[in-house]
Structure 1
Amino acid sequence: MSSTVTRSPRQLIRHHVRTQRQALTSAQQHQAAQQLLQQCQQSHHFTDAQHIALYLSNDGEIDTQPVIDWLWQQHKHVYLPVLHPFSKGHLLFLHYTSTTAMQANRYGIQEPILDIRLVKPARELDLICTPLVAFDHTGQRLGMGGGYYDRTLAPWHHSRQHPYPLGLAHNCQFVEQLPHEAWDVPLPTIITPARTFSWSTP
């Protein structure tokens, strides 16, 4: 007798949105990336910031490279996440340039080779751009399930001090309502190719 694995609502949403995202054509991805860049160029969160953490796109995520290239042109400092080698489930942020030596992490995602001289403490960043799988009308964010960004953003969630968190997503990643847990950190701003969503924070 075969057994079926029952997926949680979060797992079902994650699968559905990832499938939609991965189905986008190269032309659609390129257009979305250019529209996202235009939205970011109009956002004071980017124009006011000097030290900005981003990420390299993976798994059908919206391409962040045009934004990174623009920030370099503006002489701003860009940082990428690196899986912490000793503290499981945590991230470090390393300064990233066009000549940074890279390697694949355990998830197959390119990240800078760890060099302690390039680490920027998260509290010294102005802006952290977070990846996400889905988001809803209240700013709740559904990630891949590792909790890396929830842990990174927990101090901001409690104190509302630096760094400011901002999500980036395709238009298709919006869902009406996400089931959420106590440890989930909702985002105050999420930028898509079509628009910028903003929510007030208590």
Structure 2
Amino acid sequence: MILSRQDFRQHIREKRNQLHSDVQFQASMELVTQCAQLSEFQTAQHIALYLSADGELITTPLIEWLWRQGKRTYLPVIHPFSKGHLLFLHYDQHTPMVLNRYSIAEPKLDQTQILPIQQLDLICTPLVGFDSTGHRLGMGGGYYDRTLEPWFKTGRGPKPIGLAHDCQQVEKLPVESWDVPLPKIVTPSRIWDWE
């Protein structure tokens, strides 16, 4: 039986939501160790991440580690006028937060805190699942596919790196024409590299 994209989403989300809090915490610490090895994190100054939801690999320890390294971090905000697009706003421990339409915390919209996407060095992307060729399965809104499309077509702009639990890897995902494969995905146990 061939699974649909929605079947994959449901199956993988169930797997990661079953991870015990101790496993989640350990995974978040191992993520920091993995990312600290990567030259992309060592050289980048402006790094977009996301706050974890729905069993995603917890990014808070990575964000706090980046702050200690003197890096500037940014979080996605759903664009208020351009449907299906993201803005990236500077994020630190004093950033006022609100819940978006998906009940995910994001910085309160403040034009002075927006960094144009092309000025980011890295975009760490959430994902539901990924396969052995670097294809990522998101939640289905297409926000990151639209954000990463210029990089995919031209190779210019911020480099995307996916972050995921090991259990989110599958052999092969069904792929659509608009899907943007990732050059790297970091899990707690390894760095997947297709460059």
TM-score computed with the length of structure 1 as normaliser: 0.95
- Alignment partners' CA distance in 1, 2:62 and 2:156: 24
In the alignment, which residue of structure 2 is the partner of 1:131?
126
- Alignment partners' CA distance in 1, 2:144 and 2:181: 11
- Alignment partners' CA distance in 2, 1:49 and 1:113: 25
Deviation of residue 24 (structure 1)? 0.3
Deviation of residue 8 (structure 1)? 6.2
- Alignment partners' CA distance in 2, 1:107 and 1:35: 28
Deviation of residue 156 (structure 1)? 0.1
Of 36, 41, 58, the match for 1:63: 58
Per-residue CA distance 1:23-63 (angstroms, 9 max, x = gap): 00100000110111100111111111000000000000000
In the alignment, which residue of structure 1 is the partner of 2:156?
161
- Alignment partners' CA distance in 2, 1:8 and 1:19: 15
Counterpart of 2:31 in 1: which secondary structure?
A: helix
Q: How does 1:150-189 map to 2 (within 5 A)?
A: 150-189=145-184
Runs (4+) off by over 6 Å = none
Per-residue CA distance 1:55-101 (angstroms, 9 max, x = gap): 00000000000000000001100000000000110000000010000
- Alignment partners' CA distance in 1, 2:66 and 2:194: 25
Q: Mark the structure with the bigger radius of gyration.
A: 1
Q: Does structure 1 residue 51 correspond to structure 2 residue 46? A: yes
- Alignment partners' CA distance in 2, 1:67 and 1:73: 10
In the alignment, which residue of structure 2 is the partner of 1:28?
23
Counterpart of 1:128 in 2: which secondary structure?
A: strand
In the alignment, which residue of structure 2 is the partner of 1:11?
6
- Alignment partners' CA distance in 1, 2:173 and 2:117: 27
Quote the sequence identity (%): 60
Stretches of structure 2 lacking an aligned partner (at least 5 in a row): none
- Alignment partners' CA distance in 1, 2:148 and 2:16: 25
One-letter code aligned to 1:194: S
Number of paired residues?
194
Deviation of residue 115 (structure 1)? 0.3
Per-residue CA distance 1:137-177 (angstroms, 9 max, x = gap): 00000000000000000000011012000000000000000
In the alignment, which residue of structure 2 is the partner of 1:84?
79
Stretches of structure 1 lacking an aligned partner (at least 5 in a row): 1-6
In the alignment, which residue of structure 2 is the partner of 1:116?
111
Of 168, 192, 195, the match for 2:190: 195
